[in-house]
Structure 1
Amino acid sequence: MSTQAELSDDCTTLVHDLARDARSAQRVLARMSDTEKADALHAAAASLRDDAPTILKENAKDIAAGESNGLSKAMLDRLKLDTDRLNGIADAVDAVADLPDPVGQVIDQSTAPTGLKLQRIRIPIGVIGIIYESRPNVTADAASLCVRAGNATILRGGSEAVYSNRAIHAAMVKGLATKGVPEAAVQLMPTQDRAAVGAMLQASGLIDMIVPRGGKGLVARVQSDARVPVLAHLDGINHTYIHDKANPEMARAIALNAKMRRTGICGAMETLLIDSKFPNAADVVGDLIDGGCEVRGDSRARALDKRIGMAGANDWDTEYLDAVVSLKIVDGLDDALDHIARHSSGHTDVIITDDDEAGERFLTEVDSAIVMRNTSSQFADGGEFGLGAEIGIATGRIHARGPVALEGLTTYKWQVRGEGQTRA
C-alpha cells in the first residue's frame, strides 16, 4: 500500500509531466491563426453533439452516484445534463469560436521622445490550471476559452462529475485534434487523488495561473496553499435591495426570479433587503414562500408573514445555493449600503428602484464586481454579458474582475521598434 508521501511524489511527477506537455502544446497554439482556432472549436462543438448519447450515459452514472451519496437537489441540478443542456454547452463552444480573438490586439501605442515606437499587445497567459467542482459544463467552457485565447489548460474536475468530465473532455479533444490542436493543449487530470490538487498548486514556473471554481472550502484551500497566481471568487452572497421607490410588480418579478430561477448558481440572490417604506413587502415575500422558498428573517421581517423563520447571525454570510433566502428590513438606502458593505462577498448586488438618484448612487457606491439596477442577479453570467462562456466570476481586484472570459485569460507584452537608437 502506497504511503501518503509516495502518493504526493507520484502526483508531483504527474503534474510536472502534464505541465511540460501543455507548455509544448501551447507553443503550437500560439502559432495558430484566429481562423484556425475558431475552426478547431467549431469542430469540438460538433464532436460534443455527435457524442451526446455517450456523454448523457456517463452523466447518468454521476447522477446515480450523487443520489446515493446524498447530494442536495441544488448540487444534483448543477450536475445533471440532458439534451437541451448539452446542446447549450455545445452552443457555448460555438459562441466562443465566433468571438473576436484577443491575441495580438493592440491595447495602446505611442512614440517616445527618442523615436521608439511602443505597442502593448495582448498575448496568452500560457498554461492555466482549472480546479472545479460539480458542474460538467466547466470542462467544455474552460477548454474552449483557453484554446480561443491561445492557452493550454490542465483541468481537474470534482469527483461528483468524474464520468461526465471524462466524456466531455474526450469529445472536445477529438474535435480539436481534427483541426491541428495538440491533444496536450487540453488535458484532464487522470486521477481524483487530492494530492494532485496540491501538486498543481505548488507547480510554480510550470503552471502560470490557477483558476478555482467551486465552493468556499475549495477556493479557500487554493488561495491558502497556492504558489501559483490565483484568479478566484469566494461565495456568491448576492443582495437584492428593494428601494421604497421600486415598482411593486417589477420588484415581485425580479425577487422571485433572482432566487428561484436556479437556486444552485453563484448568481442567485441569497439576501433580500426590503426598505421599511416599501408598501408591498408582504406580496414579495409571499411570492417567494408560495414558490417553495424558505425565508429566514429578522424580527421586523417576520412580522410580514407568519411562515418566515428566524435568521441566525450566520445567515447574513451564507451562500445557500438552495431554495433559502435571508430577509432583512432596512431603513433607507444608507442602511442597505451599510448591510451590503458588511456582508456582500463582492460578487453581484442589485437595487430595484424608479429613483434615478438612488439607483446611480447604489451603482457607484457598492464595491462589487457586478452591480445592477432593475434586473435579476441571475444575469451575472459571461454569456449574458456577450462574452461567450466564462471561466468564473472573479471578485478580487487584481488582473480581472467580474465574468472572466477571453480578455481575462490574456496578459500583455511590450513591443518596441527602433531605428538604431542607443541610450545616452
Structure 2
Amino acid sequence: MDSMDRSRAFLRDVKRLVVKVGTAVVTRSDGRLALGRLGALCEQIKELNSQEYEVILVSSGAVGIGRQRLRYRKLVNSSFADLQKPQVDLDGKACAAVGQNSLMALYDTLFSQLDVSSAQLLVTDNDFRDKDFRRQLSDTVKSLLSLKVIPIFNENDAVSTRKAPYEDSSGIFWDNDSLAALLALELKADLLVLLSDVDGLYSGPPSDPHSKLIHTYVKERHQGEITFGDKSRVGRGGMTAKVKAAVGAAYAGIPVVITSGYAPENILKVLKGDRIGTLFHQDAHLWAPQKDVGARDMAVAARESSRRLQAISSEERRKILLDVADALETNEKLIRTENEADVAEAQQNGYERALVSRLAMKPGKISSLANSIRMLANMEDPIGRVLKKTEISDGLILEKTSSPLGVLLIVFESRPDALVQIASLAIRSGNGLLLKGGKEARRSNAILHKIITAAIPDSVGGTLIGLVTSREEIPDLLKLDDVIDLVIPRGSNKLVSQIKNSTKIPVLGHADGICHVYVDKSADLEMAKRIVLDAKVDYPAACNAMETLLVHKDLVHTGMLNELVVNLRIEGVTLYGGPKASSLLNIPEARTFHHEYNSLTCTIEIVEDVFAAIDHIHQHGSAHTDCIVTEDEKVAEIFLRQVDSAAVFHNASTRFSDGARFGLGAEVGISTSRIHARGPVGVEGLLTTRWILRGSGQVVNGDKGVIYTHKDIKIESHVVD
C-alpha cells in the first residue's frame, strides 16, 4: 500500500468502516430484491470480517420491498370490482414495517450461510437528541463488533415522526446517506463507503459519454461546477444526497468513497487502494493531482528543473544517478509487490500473453536496472562536451558543444522498466521529462516514479520528471510544441502513428520491430541454429526479436531448412509461411509479411539469394534490425552495405540491438528515423548542439578588415569550463 496515491494512503490504517447500501442496489428495477448483488455484498463483508475489519452496515430498501410485497398481496386478495375502483397508494409506514422484516430476514439468511452473525438496529432522528441514547448506541455497537457481529442499521420509517425528507427535518439526519455519515462520526469510523448504482460522482450525467468520473472531490473546485441529476429511482436519496452527506462527513474528519454497489468486489478494491469511485477527504485540496496542474504548467516545471539540473556540477548529476540506483535496490520488495499486482490484474483482465510478459519485472530485473544506471553514471559527462573547436579569425574561437534537448515527452506501453531507463537517461543528459505509461502498469509506474523523484535533490526539484496519469492529458501535451522538444512513443504501430499525426513536435521512434534473419547458403549450420533460436526465443516480446526467417533456396535440399524448422518447433514456436515456404513445409500461409508477432510465432520464407533477401526486407521490413548468417564475406558485405535498416548484423542475433548491450547505458527507445538519432537511442540521442563563440571585441562591419582563418584547433578538454 505504500505505493498508492497520496489521496488513498490513509486506507492502510482503516480498521472500522461504515458501508451504506442504497435502495437502487438492494432492489431491481421491478422492485424485487437483487439477490445477486446482496449476496456479493455479504460475501465482501464476510471477507472483511475475517480480515479483522470492523464493518457497520447501513441498508436502505425496506420501504421499496414492503411496497412491492403489499401490492402483490393486495392484488391477490382483490376482486375484479375492487380493481375497477381508483387505487389508493399504500401507506409508506406500513410498507416500511413489512419491508424491514423481509429485508432483515434475507440478510440473516445470507450471513448465516457465510457463518456470520448480524444484528438489527432501527433508529430515528429524534433518538440522537438523547445523550444517553448515543452513549448506549456506541456501547452496543462496540460489544457487537467485539463478537464479530455485523450491526445493520436503518431508519425506523415505520414510526418516524419526520414529515418531509429535507425542509421539515430536524437536521440530525434526513435519509440513510446522512444517517450513515452521522453513524460514522458517532461511532468513530475510519472510513465511510456509500454504494450507489453508478461508479461515483461524474462531471455531468453518467450516461453522457463526455462526462468524466471525478476520482477526488475538491469542494473548492467542484462545488458549483457539477449539476446533479434526479433523485434515486426508488429511495429518497440520489447523488445529491450522497454528495451532501459525503462532504459533511469528510469535512468533519471521516473520509468517504462513493462507488458502485453493482460491482462484486468494490469495497475490497477501495480498501486495497484502487483508484475507483470518488473520494471525499478534508485534505483533498492539498492533493491536486498532476493533471489538475495543467499540461503546460507540468511541461514548464520540467523545463525549469532541467535548467537547474544543467547548472549543477557533473559530479552532482552523477551522484543523483547513483542515489536512484541505490533507492531502486532498497525498495525492490515494494516494487515487486506493486508489479505483481499489475501482472495479476492484467491476467485477470485477459490481456495478451506478450503484453503480460513485457509488464512483468522478473527476479533480477531491479538489480540489472540499477547496474545499468551505475554504468551510465560512470560514463563521461555528455553535457557541455566540446565536439569541434575552430579559430574563425585571430582571437575569435568557435566551439561546437553538446547540449540537452530540453523537455522530452515519452509515451510507452506495458514495460515499467522503460520508465527507469528513460528517467536515468534524462537525468544524465540534463533533460526534463514527462512520462505517460500504459494503464496496465499503473501501480508499477507510480512506485518507480515516486522512488526516483524522491532521490532527486530539492535544488533540482522532483518536477524534473512528471508522471502523466491520464490518457486525456496527451492531446493537450502534444499541442505544446513551444515547450516540449521531442516526443518518443514506445509502443504499437497504432500508438506511434496516432502521435505522429497529432503533433508538430518532432517524434522519434519506430512503429514496428519487424526484424529479419537471413540464412545464406554458405551459413554454418550450428551457428545458424543458435542465432535463429536466440533471435526468436530469448525474449519474443521484444521489438528486436526475429519476426521473419529468410532461408536461401539451396538449404531446402541440404536439409538445413528442415533442421531450423525442427529446432523452432521444439522451442514451441508457431510457424507461418510465405507462398513458397507454406506449401513446401505444409504450414499455414501468413496473412502478411509486415506483422510483428511479439510472441513465440514467426514467418518463414524461401528466397533465391542475398539480393532477393534484401528486396524482401526493404519491401516488408520496418528498418529496425536485420541480420545475415553467412560464411561468405563478400555476400555479407553486400547485405551490410545495402540493407537500409537502423541496425544491420553479420553472424549475430538481432537481440543485440539494445542500448545497454551497445554500451549506451540504457535506451529511450530504438529509432528508425533517418533524421537525428537512429537505432538504439541513448544519451547521445537526447542531446543537440550549441555554438559558443569567444572573442575580444571583434565586429563584422561588412567583413572589412576581418581575415578569416577557419583553422581547426585540437580539443584538449571535452567539457566546457
TM-score norm. by structure 1 comes to 0.94
1:337 to 614, 620, 632: 614
The answer as to 2:590 corresponding to 1:311 is yes
- In structure 2, the partner of 1:252 is 529
Q: Using the TM superposition, give the Cα deviation of residue 299 of structure 1 relative to its aligned residue in structure 2, in angstroms.
A: 4.1
CA distance in 2, matches of 1:144, 1:322: 28
Higher relative contact order (CA 8 A, sep 6+): 1
Shift of 1:419: 2.0
- Whole-angstrom distance in 2 between the partners of 1:400 and 1:363: 19
Tell which deviates more after alignment, 81-90 or 371-380: 81-90
Which residue matches 2:344? Answer: 64
Q: Which of residues 670, 681, 699 is equivalent to 1:404?
A: 681
Q: Does the CA contact (< 8 Å) of 2:306 and 2:460 recur in 1? A: no
**CA contact 1:95–1:388 (8 Å) conserved in 2:** yes
Please give the root-mean-square deviation of Cα atoms over the aligned residues, in Å. Answer: 1.7
Q: Offset at 1:14?
A: 1.6
Other-structure match for 1:183: 462
SS in structure 1 of the partner of residue 454 of structure 2: helix
Are 1:23 and 2:303 counterparts?
A: yes
Displacement after TM superposition at 1:206 (Å): 1.5
For 1:2, the equivalent position in structure 2 comes to 203
Measure how far apart 1:397 and its partner are: 0.7
Question: 1:211 Cα deviation (Å)?
Answer: 0.9
Secondary structure of 2:455's match?
helix
Among 215, 238, 242, the residue aligned to 2:515: 238
1:363 offset after TM fit, Å? Answer: 0.6
1:104 equivalent to 2:384? Answer yes
Matches within 5 A, 1:109-188: 109-113=389-393, 116-177=396-457, 180-188=459-467
CA contact (8 A) 1:121 1:414 kept: yes
CA distance in 1, matches of 2:497, 2:293: 25
For residue 176 of structure 1, report the CA deviation from its aligned partner. 2.4
Partner of 2:652: 375
DSSP 3-state at the match of 1:317 = coil
**Aligned counterparts, 1:84-103, within 5 A:** 84-103=364-383
**Separation in 2 of the partners of 1:422 and 1:6?**
62
* Post-superposition CA distance 1:55-97 (Å, at most 9, x none): 1111111111110121122211110113311221222222221
CA distance in 1, matches of 2:492, 2:401: 34
Structure 1, 136-145 or 14-23: larger mean CA deviation: 14-23
How far residue 366 of structure 1 moved from its aligned partner, in angstroms, is 0.5
Residues 162-219 of structure 1: CA deviation (Å, up to 9, x unaligned): 10001111111122238x5411111211x22x22111111111111111111111111
User: Once structures 1 and 2 are overlaid, which stretch shifts more, 255-264 or 89-98?
Assistant: 89-98
**C-alpha contact (below 8 Å) 1:45/1:175 kept by paired residues:** no
Runs of 4+ in 1 over 6 A off after TM superposition: 3-7
Cα deviation, residue 114, structure 1:
6.2
- AA in 2 matched with 1:107: L
- 2:327 equivalent among 37, 43, 47: 47
Asked if structure 2 preserves the Cα contact closer than 8 Å seen for 1:40 and 1:181, the reply is no
CA contact (8 A) 1:12 1:196 kept: no
Alpha carbons 1:95, 1:389 under 8 Å: kept: no
Residues 219/296 of structure 1: CA separation in 2 closer, same or farther (3 Å cut):
same
Structure 2 length as normaliser, TM-score? 0.56
Contact 1:11-1:195 within 8 A present in 2 as well = no
Unaligned runs of 5+ in 2: 1-201, 213-289, 703-721
Match of 1:204 in 2: 481
Aligned counterparts of 2:383 and 2:615: Cα–Cα separation in 1: 41
Partner of 2:362: 82
Q: Does 1:291 align with 2:291?
A: no
Separation of aligned partners in 2, 1:118 and 1:326:
54
CA deviation after TM superposition for structure 1 residue 145, in Å: 0.1
CA contact (8 A) 1:114 1:421 kept: no
Alignment of 1:270 with 2:542, yes or no, is no
Write the distance in 1 (CA, Å) between the matches of 2:293 and 2:337: 33
Task: Please tell me the residue identity of whatever aligns with 2:376.
Answer: V
Deviation at 1:304, TM superposition (A): 5.2
Partner Cα separation in structure 2 for residue 399 and residue 208 of structure 1: 13
Q: Secondary structure of 2:501's match? A: helix
Q: Which amino acid aligns with 1:266?
A: C
The number of aligned residues is 416
Q: 1:288-317: per-residue Cα shift (whole Å, max 9, x none)?
A: 1111001111343235544x32222x2x10
Deviation, 1:118, is 1.1
Given residue 347 of structure 1, which amino acid in structure 2 is its aligned partner?
H
Is contact 2:410–2:490 with CA below 8 Å preserved after alignment?
Answer: yes
Q: 1:118-165: CA deviations, max 9, x gaps? A: 111001111111111100001111110001001111111110101000
| Residue identity matched to 2:589 | M
Measured in 2, the distance between the counterparts of 1:156 and 1:209 equals: 14
Match of 2:355, as an amino acid?
Answer: M
Which of 189, 213, 227 in structure 1 is aligned with 2:490? Answer: 213
Amino acid in structure 2 at the alignment position of 1:108? K
Aligned mates of 2:529, 2:692 — CA distance in 1: 53
Q: Tell me what 1:349 maps to.
A: 626
The alpha carbon displacement at 1:116 in A equals 2.4
Q: Which amino acid aligns with 1:41?
A: L
How much does 1:421 deviate? 1.5
SS in 2 for 1:310: coil
Bigger Rg, which one:
2
